[in-house]
């Protein structure tokens, strides 16, 4: 047989596919299947993580195609974002040139992988054709009240005079200037995702092909919380607080609104706490320098919930008192506290130290009363030390609530405050509206004009897209669109006077929140061709990294609902099936001076199990470090291109899927890819040694047929169940079986090999095509139907029967299925474990019961 040379065979097959336009989507009206991998950011190169992701999708796409589906499997580029602007600032390259060059490069690299992608549908989100359609639906949502403007807090770099994205803030400082970042209020655009909060939670229940973990993360992110809003009347206040004229609202005197999930604990309330930037805290700070200082101190700790959670509890008494709603003899002090978030609920709480840990920590520090009001059913009393009691129980010390169990007490407390006009039941969410304004150049322009007389004006449909200007500068910080000499100056579309364009661009998560819908007809005049979208959506299988479990996947679910409500689509859920794949990881190597060393410059030796590493270029000994995600900073990257070059595409594809379940990380090792490469050779050798004229026995032919059907069953189940590694393991076994099989005829071998070609095709499509042709099969294996197994043939023909002695399992026998009970009995009695047991216990057999194909029961005594 000839040696298989991937270097000639792989380009030959890719050429064949290209000439046949094999991967252009066919819509023949059969069952459809939409496979999509999260589209890449064009950072410059395809890395191993990309390769693994796209190869997984390709296995699914090729398998579904073989099963007779019309398959949609498109590819594009998530092409807006900061790195392009950084390249411009650092190296003077235009973001557009940088991005499209990277795309060209990565497209070439992706094409090498032999993926069954429909490149005719490709687009980049930075194509004016794409973002112009995005502007069109953005305006539609604006008209529908889902887009609005309000003040939002941004990270402001006071040295660079620019807004920073969260990722650009490192330990509270601007990543370039190193200056402490300030919070600033800027007028920003928002999408009203909170309108869909409930629907987004409910929808999660229909997503039965999503990982449970991801659904839970989304649910927590939306954070639905049920409780009550309470209004606490101010009964004492410092004289400097302004009194309001009768009937006028006055935030310094009006009742304090508080949100609670535990109205049942109201009798244990011992203080009110306001966020440091609550309006009342700020009003008092104007007259009290100590409060002003307190606000400043709090502003210095991070604003994330995690930061606040970690920080030591701090507070200050504001000199205000409020009336308890249920106990007229009781008033409570009002404090400001650093653990109260201004952005949740109403930015104010009532503290019940006995039943809330944060409140307890705070009360212990500032010596505020701790009054338990809930106790477990079986406890006569309850003592609170340093731990709050948050478990179930009944109210006590609680007036009309006494004896009620937590849930009953909540309902009773809410009914009472409602009757008194001092509160009401309320449901709130952690989810905030989505701030989409970015003060950056390389993004989708927001299609709005600000007119001095008309205000906010939409750019008319016939003037879309609002295209980014090319002639921008990056020599100074800030937004290049804002300082462009002409771009923003326009006439108001409505009244014709001098007006200015909005210079904010959209968050790139907007770009990726609907691309899957655009792929169903990427040249449609409308943002979404409803008919095409309804034919193809939802995406049947979406594949990507778990790092997108919340933001991207939640935004996409929201926008799909919004576009569906606007009549553009019929589905609410964009992704029926979701798979989150693991990463590709690699060992790290370090020199004594701490420098990381690339794997290609490392020689590994294994001396009786003790591994050591040496740098090839310098001869220096290296420290073998942890196995980590491939990253440039640790230099533990192996580029797919190197592997394809040295071992071929099929071997590379096989390797990224073979050693680990898809949801887990896979460790790159040179040995792994060599093993994959040898397998590809073995597959070819089998095909190449096929001889139609070989003769064999009917017995052997039947046995090989049986092996073939077992393999079809096992591989099909592996592919269907997203257990690609186990499907590959079965393929290895099947190849070994065929290779070692003797005495079968040419015809029987052909049947086995024809099945093998179709089974390996999703994984190693090139060698599969070569083999298919060598067998003399017509056309391409790509279009051959997926093999179907006969359950009778695929069934295991041996069964394992446990042997019980007096009801206890003592051994087992392996017998042909349907074996004669007498034969089973004989085997069981001769079984070594049985003999040993009887001997050891000095017993003998009294009775034998054989349940055919199930179990052997022995009674001994
Ligand atoms: C009184 C109380 C008594 C509370 C008790 C808890 C236990 P979730 O479940 O997350 O919605 N809270 C309300 N607004 C807050 C804010 N802006 N910053 C910090 N904490 C805030 O939590 C709701 C509970 O968190 C509320 O119920 C409130 O404390 C606190 F034994 O009210 B609770
Ligand atoms: Zn106007």
Mean of pLDDT values over 142-168:
85
Q: What is the pLDDT of residue 788?
A: 96
Question: Between residues 246 and 30, which one has the greater pLDDT?
Answer: 30
Helices (H), 367-451: 406-420
Residue nearest ligand 1's atom 2 by CA: 262
Task: Give the tokens for residue 29.
Answer: 């009206």
Q: Assess whether the previous peptide bond of 465 is cis (omega < 30° from 0).
A: yes
Q: Which atom of ligand 1 is nearest to the CA of 388?
A: 31
* % pLDDT > 90, the chain: 77
Q: Does the beta carbon of 352 lie inside 6 Å of ligand 1?
A: yes
Task: Give the tokens for residue 170.
Answer: 């490192």
The per-residue DSSP string of 486-524 comes to STTEEE-TTT-SEEEE---EE-HHHHTTSHHHHTTSTT-
Can you tell me which residue has the tokens 């600032």? 89
Residue nearest ligand 1's atom 12 by CA: 349
Residues 6+ apart with CB under 8 A from 348: 256, 257, 258, 259, 272, 273, 274, 275, 278, 340
Residue range 602-651, pLDDT digits in tens: 998 888 888 999 999 999 999 998 888 877 778 887 788 888 889 999 99
Distance CA 505, CA 480 (A): 11
- Ligand 2 center to residue 538 CA distance, Å? 41
Distance (Å) of CA 162 to CA 81, 155, 237, 514: 16, 8, 40, 29
Distance CA 457, CA 856 (A): 84
Q: Among 259, 306, 348, which residue has the most ligand 1 atoms within 8 Å of its CB, making it the best to mutate?
A: 259
Q: Which atom of ligand 1 is nearest to the CA of 342?
A: 17
> Which ligand minimizes its atom distance to the CA of 268?
1
Task: Give the tokens for residue 51.
Answer: 């390769």
Is the per-residue pLDDT at 167 higher than 70?
no
Residue nearest ligand 1's atom 28 by CA: 260
Residue range 369-418, pLDDT digits in tens: 999 999 998 888 899 999 999 999 999 999 999 999 999 999 999 999 99
Q: Among 275, 281, 356, which residue has the most ligand 1 atoms within 8 Å of its CB, making it the best to mutate?
A: 356
Q: Does the beta carbon of 355 lie inside 6 Å of ligand 1?
A: yes
Distance CA 53, CA 576 (A): 18
* % pLDDT > 70, the chain: 99
- Ligand 2 center to residue 833 CA distance, Å? 95
Q: What is the pLDDT of residue 555?
A: 96
Residue nearest ligand 1's atom 19 by CA: 340
Residues 6+ apart with CB under 8 A from 114: 10, 13, 14, 17, 58, 649, 650, 653, 765, 766
Distance CA 114, CA 678 (A): 19
List, in sequence order, every residue forming a beta bridge with 435; answer none if it has no partner: 190
Is the per-residue pLDDT at 166 higher than 80?
no
Q: What is the pLDDT of residue 181?
A: 84
Distance CA 553, CA 513 (A): 8
**Average pLDDT in the chain:** 93
Give residue 816's pLDDT band: very low, low, confident or very high (50, 70, 90). confident
DSSP 346: T
Please check if 635 is assigned to a binding site.
no
- Ligand 1 center to residue 260 CA distance, Å? 5
- Ligand 2 center to residue 190 CA distance, Å? 23
> Which ligand minimizes its atom distance to the CA of 227?
1
Can you tell me which residue has the tokens 């992608």? 117
Is the per-residue pLDDT at 160 higher than 80?
no
Residue range 299-335, pLDDT digits in tens: 876 656 667 777 899 999 999 999 999 999 999 999 9
Residue range 38-57, pLDDT digits in tens: 999 999 988 888 999 999 99
Task: Give the tokens for residue 401.
Answer: 């609530």
For 557, phi then psi, to 5°, come to: -65, -40
Q: Among 263, 345, 373, which residue has the most ligand 1 atoms within 8 Å of its CB, making it the best to mutate?
A: 345
CA 635 to chain centre: 25
Least confident piece of the model among 215-229, 275-289, 792-806: 792-806
Distance CA 290, CA 279 (A): 16
* Residues bordering ligand 2, an ion, CB closer than 5 Å: 451, 453-454, 492, 494-495
Question: Between residues 478 and 335, which one has the greater pLDDT?
Answer: 335
Distance CA 755, CA 753 (A): 5
Give residue 175's pLDDT band: very low, low, confident or very high (50, 70, 90). confident
For 531, phi then psi, to 5°, come to: -65, -45
Task: Give the tokens for residue 541.
Answer: 């299988």
């Amino acid at each position: 047989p000839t040696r298989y040379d991937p270097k000639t065979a792989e380009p030959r097959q890719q050429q064949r596919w290209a000439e046949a336009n094999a991967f252009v989507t066919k819509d023949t009206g059969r069952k459809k299947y939409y496979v999509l991998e999260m589209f890449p950011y064009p950072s410059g190169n395809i890395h191993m993580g990309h390769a693994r992701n796209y190869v997984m999708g390709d296995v699914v796409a090729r398998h579904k195609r073989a099963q007779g589906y019309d398959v949609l499997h498109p590819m594009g580029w998530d092409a807006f974002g900061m790195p392009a602007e950084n390249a411009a600032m650092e190296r003077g390259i235009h973001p557009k040139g940088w991005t499209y060059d990277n795309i060209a490069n990565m497209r070439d690299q992706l094409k090498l992988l032999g993926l069954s992608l429909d490149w005719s549908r490709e687009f980049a989100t930075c194509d004016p054709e794409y973002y112009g359609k995005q502007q069109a639906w953005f305006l539609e949502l604006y008209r529908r009240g889902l887009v609005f403007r309000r003040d939002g807090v941004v990270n402001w770099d006071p040295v660079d005079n620019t807004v920073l994205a969260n990722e650009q803030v490192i330990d509270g400082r601007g990543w370039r200037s190193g200056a402490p970042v300030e919070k600033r209020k800027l007028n920003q655009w928002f999408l009203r995702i909170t309108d869909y909060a409930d629907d987004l939670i409910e929808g999660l229940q229909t997503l039965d092909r999503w990982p449970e973990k991801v659904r839970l993360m989304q649910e927590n992110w939306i954070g639905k919380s049920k409780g009550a809003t309470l209004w606490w009347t101010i009964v004492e206040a410092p004289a400097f607080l302004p009194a309001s004229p009768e009937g006028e609202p006055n935030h310094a005197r009006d009742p304090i609104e508080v949100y609670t999930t535990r109205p049942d604990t109201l009798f244990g309330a011992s203080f009110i706490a306001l966020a440091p930037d609550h309006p009342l805290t700020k009003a008092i700070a104007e007259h009290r320098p100590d409060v002003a200082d307190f606000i400043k101190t709090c502003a210095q700790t991070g604003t994330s919930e995690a930061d606040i959670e970690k920080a030591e509890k701090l507070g200050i008494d504001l000199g205000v008192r409020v009336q308890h709603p249920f106990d007229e003899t009781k008033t409570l002090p009002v404090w400001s506290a650093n653990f109260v978030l201004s952005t949740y609920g109403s930015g104010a709480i009532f503290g019940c130290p006995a039943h809330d840990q944060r409140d307890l920590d705070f009360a212990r520090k500032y010596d505020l009363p701790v009054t338990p009001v809930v106790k477990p059913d079986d406890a006569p009393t309850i003592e609170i030390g340093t731990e709050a009691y948050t478990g179930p129980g009944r109210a006590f010390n609680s007036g009309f609530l006494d004896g009620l169990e937590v849930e009953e007490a909540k309902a009773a407390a809410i009914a009472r405050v409602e009757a008194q006009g001092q509160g009401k039941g309320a449901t709130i969410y952690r989810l905030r509206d989505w701030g989409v304004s970015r003060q950056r150049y390389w993004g989708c322009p927001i299609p709005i004009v600000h007119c001095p007389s008309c205000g906010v004006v939409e750019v008319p449909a016939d003037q879309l897209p609002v295209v980014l200007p090319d002639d921008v500068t990056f020599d100074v910080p800030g937004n290049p669109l804002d300082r462009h000499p002409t771009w923003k100056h326009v006439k108001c579309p409505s009244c014709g006077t001098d007006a200015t364009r909005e210079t904010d661009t959209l968050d790139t998560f907007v770009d990726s929140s609907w691309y899957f819908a655009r792929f169903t007809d990427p040249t449609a005049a409308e943002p979404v061709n409803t008919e095409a979208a309804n034919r193809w959506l939802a995406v049947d299988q979406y594949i990507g990294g778990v790092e997108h479990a919340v933001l991207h996947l939640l935004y996409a679910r929201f926008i799909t609902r919004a576009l569906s409500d606007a009549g553009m689509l019929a589905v609410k859920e964009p992704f029926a099936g979701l798979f989150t794949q693991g990463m590709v990881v690699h060992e790290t190597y370090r020199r004594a001076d701490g420098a990381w060393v690339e794997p290609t410059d490392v020689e590994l030796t294994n001396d009786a199990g003790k591994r050591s590493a040496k740098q090839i270029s310098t001869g220096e000994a290296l420290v073998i470090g942890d196995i980590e995600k491939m990253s440039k900073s640790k230099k533990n990257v192996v580029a797919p291109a190197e592997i394809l070059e040295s071992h071929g595409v099929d071997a590379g594809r096989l390797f990224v899927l073979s050693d680990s379940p898809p949801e887990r990380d896979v460790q790159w090792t040179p040995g792994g890819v060599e093993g994959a490469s040898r397998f590809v050779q073995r597959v070819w050798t089998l095909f190449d040694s096929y001889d139609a004229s070989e003769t064999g026995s009917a017995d052997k032919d039947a046995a090989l047929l049986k092996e073939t059907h077992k393999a079809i069953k096992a591989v099909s189940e592996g592919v269907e169940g997203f257990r690609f590694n186990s499907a590959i393991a079965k393929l290895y076994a099947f190849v070994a079986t065929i290779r070692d099989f003797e005495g079968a005829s040419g015809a029987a071998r052909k049947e086995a090999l024809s099945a093998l070609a179709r089974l390996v095709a999703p994984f190693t499509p090139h060698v599969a095509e070569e083999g298919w042709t060598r067998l003399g099969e017509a056309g391409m294996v790509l279009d051959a139907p997926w093999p179907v197994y006969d359950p009778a043939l695929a069934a295991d023909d041996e069964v394992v029967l446990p042997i019980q002695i007096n009801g206890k399992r003592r051994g087992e026998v392996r017998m042909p299925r349907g074996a004669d009970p007498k034969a089973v009995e004989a085997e069981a009695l001769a079984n070594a474990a049985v003999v040993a047991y009887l001997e050891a216990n000095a017993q003998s057999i009294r009775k034998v019961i054989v349940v055919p194909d199930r179990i052997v029961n022995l009674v001994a005594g």
